[in-house]
Amino acid sequence: MDFKYPPQAEEFRKEIRAWLEVNAPRHKHPPYDTITVASDEEWEERKAWYRKLHSGGWIGIAWPREYGGRDADVMQAVVFHEELARFNAHLPYIGAGVALAGPTLIQWGTEAQKKRFIPKILSGEETWCQGYSEPNAGSDLTALRTMAIEEGDYFVVNGSKIWTSQAHRTDWMFLLCRTDPKQPGSRGLSYILVDMKTPGLTTRPMVEINGQVSFNQVFFENVRVPKENLVGKKNEGWRVATTTLAFERNFGGRQYPNLVRDLARMAREVQINGRPAWEDSAVRQQIAAFMCEAEAIKYNAFRGITRRLKRQPPGPESSVLKLAGTELNLRIQMFAMEVLGPYAQLSRGEPFAVDGGKWLERAITARGGTIAGGSNQIQHNIIGERVLKLPR
Ligand SMILES: Cc1cc2nc3c(=O)[nH]c(=O)nc-3n(C[C@H](O)[C@H](O)[C@H](O)COP(=O)(O)OP(=O)(O)OC[C@H]3O[C@@H](n4cnc5c(N)ncnc54)[C@H](O)[C@@H]3O)c2cc1C
């Protein structure tokens, strides 16, 4: 492993830094670093920042030029995210378009589908949600029962999806459904693109513990989807779906040292028993222990980057990173609640909330990270069976 950045990556750093100097919003704290969205107003603010990034050519930078990307290599992508973090600015989450739908379509879509959908994913003009989980099919996704039956030029969809993030705000869904009821498990599934405004499709928002709505249950009653919206082959949608999952489990892993630094800063600014929390040696020891773990996770992420630079297929790092990173995040957020004491209860917009209430927001969403994209128990299974070769 070579920790020096290549000269092209440093050139790229200058370019993005110069753009951010002029265009980055001046926030003291990153405003949108969770996948929960507080309000319609915040959704629009996220979209505005996304569009600004797009206007500078900073969305989908690793995508091929022919699809509107910059053909950026892995190290340039690393530098891009480092610079965003330096400016307290994130690539805003506005649904599953740029992270999941776009890369999946680049790999599997027909030319007509790429032409139709990719430019609008990049520009943020159309946003996306992911229709995988069902009330009785989560970890065991291949048990899903939403049916799509061919009728002339259409698939007619009936069934229901659940935990669909942002379904109530997004324009399109990539839907995994069963097109052959006689084939069990992963066979007989198809991957189709559904316009959320199609008659017969309804979303029922699910209110969360913080009073916000990010999830929905989505119902399909004779929803007619043009056959041209099939991605990949009929009944072979599982191959397309697992491509999307591979993008979903690519959890970064280099962000945790910054998170621990943010915790250390907060501990210097708040008080326990009338003295800065940082002066309590138990607080400092815990933060130091978090930093050791965060650095270990960061270097594990570099192993993944090294494999990609050598054009090797993704290794087991993604499951290890997902598991270790989301568990560490959860412990950091719970500890932040302890440091904040009674202030931990104050959320966004409340006058005495520390750091604008972001810690409560982060704490509430941290558990979700251990479940989303395949629960951590499932990641344990993957690591046990495929990495350590333990018996099933
Ligand atoms: C923040 C968040 C966002 C999400 N967004 C979306 C979305 O946009 N679209 C979408 O389709 N889904 C979404 N999901 C749903 C998510 O994919 C599922 O919650 C997840 O796959 C687990 O499925 P489940 O909830 O049905 O739990 P289950 O599969 O019923 O699991 C229940 C418990 O049993 C454990 N378990 C299950 N099977 C095994 C096993 N074989 N070995 C060991 N333990 C096991 C699980 O780990 C879990 O603790 C989201 C979830 C979260 C938390």
Residue nearest to atom 7 of ligand 1 (CA): 164
Residue nearest to atom 1 of ligand 1 (CA): 368
145 contact partners, CB below 8 Å, separation of at least 6: 134, 136, 137, 159, 178
- 260 in the same domain as 220: no
- 89 in the same domain as 39: yes
Q: Which of 165, 371, 385 to mutate to test the pocket of ligand 1 (most atoms within 8 A of CB)?
A: 371
- 380 in the same domain as 260: yes
**Whole-prediction pTM value?**
0.92
Contact by Cβ (8 Å): 94, 124 = yes
Q: Which atom of ligand 1 is nearest to the CA of 370?
A: 53
- 382 in the same domain as 279: yes
Contact by Cβ (8 Å): 214, 195 = no
Residue nearest to atom 30 of ligand 1 (CA): 138
Q: Which of 169, 244, 375 to mutate to test the pocket of ligand 1 (most atoms within 8 A of CB)?
A: 375
What is the pLDDT at residue 279? Answer: 98
Gap between the Cα atoms of 28 and 182, Å rounded = 56
- 52 in the same domain as 166: no
Asked if the structure places residue 104 within a domain, the reply is: no
Asked if the structure places residue 294 within a domain, the reply is: yes
Angle, helices 256-269/317-340, rounded to nearest 10 degrees? 10
Per-residue pLDDT of the chain in tens (392 residues, 90 and over written 9): 667 888 999 999 999 999 999 999 887 666 667 777 878 888 999 999 999 999 999 999 988 899 988 888 878 888 998 898 888 888 899 999 998 999 999 999 999 999 999 999 999 999 999 999 999 999 999 999 999 999 999 999 999 999 999 999 999 999 999 999 999 899 999 999 999 999 999 999 999 887 888 899 999 999 999 999 999 999 999 999 988 887 776 656 778 998 999 999 999 999 999 999 999 999 999 999 999 999 999 888 887 777 766 766 666 677 888 899 999 999 999 999 999 999 999 988 789 999 988 899 899 989 999 999 889 999 999 899 888 999 98
What is the pLDDT at residue 259? Answer: 92
**CATH code for position 71:** 1.10.540.10
Q: Which atom of ligand 1 is nearest to the CA of 166?
A: 8
Domain boundary pick from 94, 112, 145: 94
Query: By three-state DSSP, how is residue 137 classified?
Result: strand
Q: 370 CA to middle of ligand 1, Å?
A: 9
Q: Which domain holds residue 90?
A: 7-94
- 133 in the same domain as 76: no
Distances (CA, A) of 327 to 76, 157, 248: 28, 37, 17
Residue nearest to atom 41 of ligand 1 (CA): 378
**CATH code for position 263:** 1.20.140.10
Q: Which atom of ligand 1 is nearest to the CA of 136?
A: 26
Asked if the structure places residue 392 within a domain, the reply is: no
Residue nearest to atom 27 of ligand 1 (CA): 138
Asked if the structure places residue 99 within a domain, the reply is: no
Residue nearest to atom 24 of ligand 1 (CA): 138
- 363 in the same domain as 316: yes
Strand ranges, E, within the chain: 128-131, 147-151, 154-161, 172-178, 189-195, 201-207, 213-226, 230-231, 271-272, 275-276
Domain boundary pick from 176, 206, 236: 236
Q: Which atom of ligand 1 is nearest to the CA of 376?
A: 47
Asked if the structure places residue 12 within a domain, the reply is: yes
Gap between the Cα atoms of 223 and 221, Å rounded = 5
Asked if the structure places residue 221 within a domain, the reply is: yes
- 253 in the same domain as 357: yes
- 272 in the same domain as 175: no
Contact by Cβ (8 Å): 232, 203 = no
Q: Give the pairing of strands 271-272 and 275-276.
A: antiparallel
Q: Which of 163, 361, 378, 385 to mutate to test the pocket of ligand 1 (most atoms within 8 A of CB)?
A: 163
Gap between the Cα atoms of 204 and 195, Å rounded = 16
Q: Which atom of ligand 1 is nearest to the CA of 165?
A: 8
Contact by Cβ (8 Å): 135, 85 = no
Cα 162 to the chain's mean position, in Å? Answer: 17
Tally of structural domains, the chain: 3
- 254 in the same domain as 380: yes
- 145 in the same domain as 30: no
Q: Give the pairing of strands 275-276 and 172-178.
A: unpaired
Asked if the structure places residue 110 within a domain, the reply is: no
Asked if the structure places residue 81 within a domain, the reply is: yes
Q: 207 CA to middle of ligand 1, Å?
A: 18
Q: Which of 248, 293, 317, 361 is catalytic?
A: 248
- 170 in the same domain as 77: no
Tell me if residue 248 is catalytic: yes
Q: Which residues line ligand 1 (CB under 6 A)?
A: 129-133, 138-139, 163-165, 368, 371-372, 374-375, 377-378, 381
